[in-house]
Amino acid sequence: MANTLLMPKATAVWLVDNTALSFDQIAQFCSLHPLEVKAIADGEAAQGIKGMDPMISGQLTRDEIAKAEADQNHRLKLSEPKVRVPETKRKGPRYTPLSKRQDRPNAILWLVRNHPELKDAQVSRLVGTTKATIEQIRDRKHWNAANLTPMDPVTLGLCSQIDLDLEVSRASRDKPAAPSTGETLLPASMTERLEVNQEQNEEDRELDANAVFAKLSSLKNRNQDEDEE
């Protein structure tokens, strides 16, 4: 969880009443406008708001306040929280703003086409929809199926690229490995057998060649003997 100031207006009320900080310093620390801080000091704003001591909540130290009081240009800094509160995990479908809900079917169509390995529950988490809607779009039974256009949910702002990559990675881990269709190396025994056969074939070819040459030589000698007679 981000380190943010708790109850900024209540903190500003306390700082105005209990410190010598300038309006600009208080406004910067509490994320308010200097005129708003001035209105608090004049009693024109934040009436009925009880001041909250930021030192009690551990978000500011006495030394930091003293340093800012001595130097008007010093900007107050939040203290690092001593305890990290883990973010609560979201349960159920992601909430989608009303302005973007009309783009949800297009995003679902993009997901089922480009990432068919995603399960319905994963698609639901990404764009905040129901399983029934996903099945209707997947089966082209949605009432507006003819007008749907696949659109990247990240581009539409329905989910982040990190969330999409995470779900795709999970789906890929669950997907069984595809059978290998590439060629593999032959066993050593078969390779040796092929080499022996190849050597034998070469020897046979050499023998055949010697036999041909011998036959040609005998024919040549026979012709010469006939010519001499």
**DSSP per position, the chain:** -----SSHHHHHHHHHHH----HHHHHHHHT--HHHHHHHHTTSSSTTPPP--TTTTTSS-HHHHHHHHH-TTPPP-PPPPSSPPPPPPP-SSPP--GGGGGGHHHHHHHHHHH-TTS-HHHHHHHHT--HHHHHHHHTT-STTGGG-----HHHHTSS-HHHHHHHHHHHHHHSPPPPP-S--PPPHHHHHHHHHHHHHHHHHHHHHHHHHHHHHHHHHHHHHHHHH-
> pLDDT tens-digit profile of 115-133?
888 998 889 888 888 888 9
Share of the chain above pLDDT 70, in %: 65
pTM for this structure?
A: 0.39
Higher-confidence position of 222 and 9? 9
pLDDT at residue 1 is higher than 50: no
Q: What pLDDT does residue 100 have?
A: 58
Assign 110 a pLDDT band (cuts: 50, 70, 90): very high
Sketch the domain layout of the chain as residue ranges: 8-70, 98-174
